[in-house]
Structure 1
Amino acid sequence: MNGVGGIGAAGGGLQQVLAIRRQVVEQSDALRNLREAGASGQTGATPEVGGGFADTLRSTLDQVNTTQARANDISAAYERGEVTDIAQVMMARQESSVAFEATLQVRNKLLSAYQDIMRMGV
């Protein structure tokens, strides 16, 4: 009889998991919409600034750093019990991880391009 109770409990747990998944998807869509709105606002301002490659790289690294600091703050708040939404914590950590991995890939491509240029004969 214990197995039957376990199945019933799993059914209720499944509904909770589906509800959490739905919330995560909704939050992800909301974040994507905010980023698209922010990106469209930033593209209009970029030509006026006239910044070069170094400025763009610096601002991108600052954004990645901000994302990582936010993820650390949310994780610490969750550990203290101030934040109870685990989906928010996991999304912040995942966003931080993706931003860092993207930065790492850009660095690797830049380093590879630099090495290719240095190997060129004059």
Structure 2
Amino acid sequence: MSGVGGVGGAMGVDRVMELRAQILERNAALSRANAAASAPAGGAAPAGPASFTDTFTDALKSVNESQSKAGALSAAYERGETIDIAKVMLARQEASVGFEATLQVRNKLLAAYKDIMSMPV
């Protein structure tokens, strides 16, 4: 008995293998695109590492943008504009996951700060 299949076990395995191949192709394409985008243009020197403050600020801005986008899509859907409900729900979930991740990072940073402050000198 196949764990993937069900009624058409061989057909299910073929479908999974086909999906795996598509995922690998897309991953390779994204890797090539990222490599091309990160390559310095015109031989310019690559920028140094970003500071923690800049990185954290960029992450917070990204979370804020995703929440704004989700709110705008929700409002447009509620107004009756022709927006796919799946697109709205996906945007809401992305915003929720981003917010939860940010909250967890904040909690970890706060815990680390408390640990450092309670260390004897």
List per-residue Cα deviations over 1:100-120 (Å, max 9, x = no partner): 000000000000000000000
Q: Which runs of 5+ in 1 are unaligned?
A: 1-28
Corresponding residue for residue 83 of structure 2:
84
| Distance in 1, Cα, partners of 2:74 & 2:48 | 35
Equivalent-residue separation in structure 1 for 2:100 and 2:56 (angstroms):
15
What secondary structure, in the 3-state scheme, does the structure 2 residue paired with 1:82 have? Answer: coil
Superposition misfits of 4+ residues, deviation over 2 angstroms: none
Bigger relative contact order, structure 1 or 2, given CA contacts below 8 A and separation 6+?
1
In terms of fraction of residues, the more helix-rich structure is 1
Q: Unaligned regions of 5+ residues in structure 2, if any?
A: 1-22, 40-45
> Structure 2-normalised TM-score?
0.63
User: Partners of 1:74 and 1:110 in 2: how far apart?
Assistant: 32
1:27-53 deviations in whole A, cap 9, x for unaligned? xx8xx97xx66x936x938x6153200
Q: What amino acid is aligned across from residue 58 of structure 2 in structure 1?
A: S
Count of residue correspondences: 87
Distance in structure 1 (CA, Å) of the matches to 2:81 and 2:48:
40
> What CA distance in whole angstroms lies between the structure 2 residues aligned with 1:119 and 1:40?
42
Aligned mates of 1:104, 1:81 — CA distance in 2: 33
The Cα RMSD (Å) is 2.6
User: Structure 2: which amino acid aligns with 1:44?
Assistant: S
What is the TM-score of this pair, normalised by structure 1? 0.62
Percent identity, please. 59
* Deviation of 1:83 (Å): 3.2
Question: Quick one: which amino acid aligns to residue 87 of structure 2?
Answer: Q
